[in-house]
Amino acid sequence: MASDWYEIAKRLHKFYEGKIEVLPKVPAFTQDHFSIWYTPGVAGPSRESAKDPDETFYLTWRWNVIAVVSDGTRVLGLGNIGPEGAYPVMEGKSLLFKALGGVDAVPIVHRARDPEKFLELLELIEPSFGGINLEDIESPKCFYILEEARKRLQIPVWHDDQQGTATVTLAGLINAAKIVGKDLRKMKIALIGVGASNIPLYRLLKLIGVPPSNIVAVDSKGVLHSERGDIEKLKNTNPWKYQIAIETDGGWNKLRGGGIAEALDDADAVVSATRPGPGIIKPEWVKKMEKDAIVFAIANPVPEIWPWEAKEAGAKVVATGRSDLPNQVNNSLAFPAIFRGVLDVRAKTITDEMTVAAAEELARYAEEKGIHEEYILPTMEEWEVFPRVATATALKAIEQGVARLKLSRDEIYERAKTIIQETRKKLEYLFKTGLIRDIPEEVKKMIEEAKKTHK
């Protein structure tokens, strides 16, 4: 049961007193060392940074550090639990950035609920960081903050609940389409849930060539279309959803009513990012989809339909958000690598084209390993995928003219690979020498019991 994992996590968080710390990366033992790193020596790099702020990318850790920022208004499946409630999650995100991408990340939780105050905060802290990862912000506020921050800041801004989920979902769809022998750009796709993840996914699908008329979108009130009763209200309260309603206009069947059941009728693929199930998507609805259907039910902790139910109903490829089921759509496959890439070329932003390049490289890596119905995406343990995705992202940044550094493919790849490998070696060394303490034996037993129960 999930409650077992909650208790284990509580015990270990208290045991370790947090998950990350700051360590020096230079020798700091003698008076000479301190004279270099602090006063009087530090005045030299300070003068250089004052003359040219971009020098901070070469003279400080700014080149490799990002802020993980949240107001705690939509944390995991817990909802609006505030900044303190969000803190363990942001710290965990920072851990993943370092462990998987070699990226230094600082968790920042705050009380700036108003979007303009939130944006002001980002502008004020910009000089300290090489990038911003937004996290766990309520919808539709999250869309406005991301759009505005990308305009106002000269460093990459990313919202993982939007772009991260969309990136990995797109990668999965690319390979799922190959398995069922269909052209993704010609497939009929149903998007169930029009929130933080499916709105950017819609944008990426358009970017790779899927016509809006091939997409039907369903929110909590039913199918989106241009004649829906609340269309004018949507125009003002949620222009992102409004745009989808106008452009898709009920999808390939020009639906003017109905909900999930009607949207799945004759669909080739469905991507559902709604609320935890099961039962949100019913097997009888999957039966009405096209032959060899693709079903992505990515709500956590329980998917909208169990994979075996979808398979029995005729689905060929099924993905969820869970690590204990095949084909996990996991944001962690994207954000550490994408930030590794943009930081290494000092990019000023992360464009949708860069996101597509990352998704395509994720898909390519899995395809080279040998995709099948239960393997359409890499796993977090396949660390070799991260420098490859970083390279693809960085090269697209250079191509689009948003990178401060212009490096070759080999230079980018070797740099990313070296940083990630060195991080892994440091962690392994600290653990082997006992500087990172092992998990207590009684908690290890609890973990084994929880895994048995979970299965």
User: From edge to edge, which strands make up the β-sheet containing 293-297?
Assistant: 222-223, 215-219, 189-192, 269-272, 293-297, 315-320
Please state, in angstroms and rounded to a whole number, the distance separating the CA atoms of residues 420 and 336: 10
**Residue 4 binned pLDDT confidence (cut-offs 50, 70, 90):** confident
Q: Which residues pair with 216 in a beta bridge?
A: 190
% of the chain exceeding 70 in pLDDT: 99
Say if residue 40 is preceded by a cis peptide, omega within 30 of 0.
yes
Distance of alpha carbon 69 from alpha carbon 133, whole angstroms = 6
429 is catalytic: no
Query: 295: closest CA among 451, 306, 377, 434?
Result: 306
Are the C-beta atoms of residues 255 and 282 closer than 8 Å to each other? no
Candidate list 6, 10, 25, 38, residue with the active-site label: 38
Going by pLDDT thresholds of 50, 70 and 90, the confidence category of residue 277 is confident
pLDDT band at residue 295 under the 50/70/90 scheme: very high
Evaluate if residue 229 carries a pLDDT over 70. Answer: yes
Round to the nearest angstrom and report the end-to-end CA distance of the chain. 9
Other CB atoms within 10 A of residue 15 CB: 11
Residue 286 has pLDDT above 70, yes or no: yes
Instruction: Name all domains of the chain by residue range, CATH numbers in brackets.
Output: 2-159 (3.40.50.10380), 164-320 (3.40.50.720)
Q: How far apart are CA 69 and CA 135, in angstroms?
A: 6
Cα 83 to Cα 136: distance, rounded to the nearest angstrom: 10
Strand bridging mode 269-272 / 189-192:
parallel
**What confidence tens digit (pLDDT) does each residue in 170-192 have?**
999 999 999 999 999 999 999 99
pLDDT digits (tens, 9 = 90+) for 84-140: 999 999 999 999 999 999 999 999 999 999 999 999 999 999 999 999 999 999 989
The model's pLDDT over 332-367, given as tens digits with 9 standing for 90+, comes to 999 999 999 999 999 999 999 999 999 999 999 999
Task: Confirm whether 38 is a catalytic residue.
Answer: yes
Q: What is the sign of the dihedral through the CA atoms of 331, 337, 343 and 349?
A: negative
